[in-house]
Amino acid sequence: MSTDKEIKTDSDIVVEKLYQTLIALNETPGQFPYTRGVQTDMYRGKLWTMRQYAGFSTAEESNKRYKYLLQQGTTGLSVAFDLPTQIGYDSSHALADGEVGKAGVAIDSLGDMEILFDGIALQNVTTSMTINATASTLLCMYIALAKKQGADLKLISGTIQNDILKEYAARGTYIYPPKPSMRIITDIFEYCSKEVPKWNTISVSGYHIREAGANAVQELAFTLADGKAYLQAAINKGLDIDVFAPRISFFFNAHNNLFEEVAKFRAARRMWANITKQLGAKNPKSQMLRFHTQTGGSTLTAQQPQNNIIRVTIQALAAVMGGTQSLHTNGFDEALSLPTEEAARIALRTQQIIGYESGVTQTVDPLGGSYYVEALTNAMEAKAYAYLQKIDEMGGAVAAIEAGYIQNEIAQSAYNYQKDIEHDTKIIVGQNKFVINEAPTKDLFTVDDSIRQIQIEKLNAIKAKRNTLIVEAALEKIKNAATDGSNLMPHILYAVENYATLGEIADVMRNVFGEYQGS
| Alpha-carbon distances of 441 from 137, 196, 343, rounded to whole Å | 39, 45, 13
295 phi/psi in degrees, rounded to 5 = -65, 155
The total of other beta-carbon atoms located within 10 Å of residue 235's CB is 16
Kindly provide the residue ranges of all beta strands, DSSP E only, lying in 11-134, ordered along the sequence: 49-54, 76-80, 127-130
Give the list of residues 6+ apart from residue 519 with CB closer than 8 angstroms, or none: 402, 404, 407
Confidence (pLDDT) at 25: 56
Cα 315 from chain centroid (whole Å): 16
* Nearest to 116, CA basis, from 203, 57, 196: 57
DSSP, collapsed to helix, strand or coil, labels residue 217 as helix
Whole-angstrom distance, CA of residue 271 vs CA of residue 467: 51
| CA 315 – CA 298 distance, rounded (Å) | 12
The rounded distance, in Å, linking the Cα atoms of 168 and 165 is 5
Ranges assigned E (strand) in 112-208:
127-130, 158-160, 199-200, 202-205
Q: What is the pTM of this model?
A: 0.90
Beta strands in 63-201 (DSSP E): 76-80, 127-130, 158-160, 199-200
d(CA 398, CA 267): 23
Per-residue pLDDT of the chain (519 residues; tens, 9 = 90+): 445 678 887 767 788 887 775 554 568 899 999 999 999 999 999 999 998 777 778 899 899 989 988 998 888 888 999 999 999 999 999 999 999 998 899 999 999 999 999 999 999 999 999 999 999 999 999 999 999 999 999 999 999 999 999 999 998 999 999 999 999 999 999 999 999 999 999 999 999 999 999 999 999 999 999 999 999 999 999 999 999 999 999 999 999 999 999 999 999 999 999 999 999 999 999 999 999 999 999 999 999 999 999 999 999 999 999 999 999 999 999 998 878 889 989 999 999 999 999 999 999 999 998 889 999 999 999 999 999 999 999 999 999 999 999 999 999 999 999 999 999 999 999 999 999 998 887 777 667 778 899 999 999 999 999 999 999 999 999 999 999 999 999 999 999 999 999 999 999 999 999 999 876
Identify the helix (H) or strand (E) that includes residue 293.
strand 291-295
